[in-house]
Amino acid sequence: MDNWEDLKLLLALSRYKTMTASAYILGISTATVSRRLERLTDELGETLFVRRGSELEPTESAKRLITIADQLDTDLWASQKADNTEHIASRRLRISISMLTIMSIDIHHFENLLTDKSLKIDLYEDKRSVAFGEVDIAVSSEEPTEGRLVRTQIGKIDFGVYIHEDWSIDPTGFIALTKVGTDYEGMPYSVVLEDRFGPPRVVTSGLCFAIALAKAMPFALCLPDKLAQRHPELVPLSDDLAIEHCTVWAAYHENRRLDPEIRLGIDFLKKSFLN
């Protein structure tokens, strides 16, 4: 692999799934995309993409290179932002991010965003659309598919099943979080818990309410590990349950890829998952 242009090609194919869409984004012809992908495949001696219906899916070999390309892309935009000295009197950044995610990350990095007094931040817990201009950045456990979006993986959340220490020996059921239309759609363990306890004893849409119930009743609850660590009276239900992971994505419109506010937001989100 010779240069950044090769990595950009892999990144575009990963994001936009077809040669035609990738060619449009890169400003080259579809034939050029095909030739360059064939050359890279020959140079590396590995298959980089496989076709799934009408879309291209990266192989594990390609995913490793795409991860590098995504980080370089972010760093380049951050550098461009740092070089931009134009003062903007009042700026606004709107982010949709679930309470589940907010309570699973290190939110102290918000301080880096708030040092700029001209920047106003609006946070929305409910799902909102980037494609329809409802927010600038959308954070979700589901890989975004709408519109002409730039998608980037910003981290992952580790989950476990927890119960109050007083009932750890003899739990009688579990608490479920409402899934439809929420970011809890990606919550793991539901099959495992239903196999063990049957249908949930309590269903709630509120994460804090669910934690309060788990502290008062002999019911298990699936929680992000980092969130559970803030409640020492909640202990793992069983050592036999493997850790589950939930990938977290951020998306923004491709026309705003050079906006300093977007780069600030993406940088904050990625750093929040590092600790």
**CATH at 101:** 3.40.190.10
What local confidence, expressed as pLDDT, does residue 83 receive?
Answer: 52
Kindly state whether residues 139 and 262 are assigned to the same domain: yes
Kindly state whether residues 69 and 169 are assigned to the same domain: no
- Total tally of structural domains belonging to the chain: 3
Kindly state whether residues 99 and 228 are assigned to the same domain: no
Kindly state whether residues 134 and 260 are assigned to the same domain: yes
At CA 252, angle to CA 5 and CA 49, rounded to 5?
45
Q: Report the C-alpha gap between 22 and 55 in whole angstroms.
A: 11
Which pair of tokens denotes residue 23? 């060619």
Could you say which DSSP state residue 46 is in?
Answer: S
Kindly state whether residues 240 and 251 are assigned to the same domain: no
What local confidence, expressed as pLDDT, does residue 105 receive?
Answer: 81
3-state class of 224 per DSSP? strand
- Spell out, as residue ranges, where the chain has pLDDT lower than 70: 1-2, 73-90, 109-113, 116, 132, 145-147, 179-190, 239, 241-243, 275
Kindly state whether residues 206 and 252 are assigned to the same domain: no
Could you say which DSSP state residue 47 is in?
Answer: -
What local confidence, expressed as pLDDT, does residue 218 receive?
Answer: 93
What local confidence, expressed as pLDDT, does residue 233 receive?
Answer: 96
Burial class (CB in 10 A: 0-12, 13-18, 19+), 122: exposed
Kindly state whether residues 10 and 117 are assigned to the same domain: no
- Closest among 179, 181, 183, 182 to 194, alpha carbons compared: 179
Contact 142, 98 (CB under 8 A): no
Kindly state whether residues 255 and 121 are assigned to the same domain: yes
**pTM of the entire structure?**
0.62
- At 197-256, the pLDDT tens digits run 888 888 887 788 889 999 999 999 888 888 899 999 999 987 676 667 888 999 998 888
Could you say which DSSP state residue 127 is in?
Answer: -
Instruction: Give the number of residues written for the chain.
Output: 275
**61, amino acid identity:** S
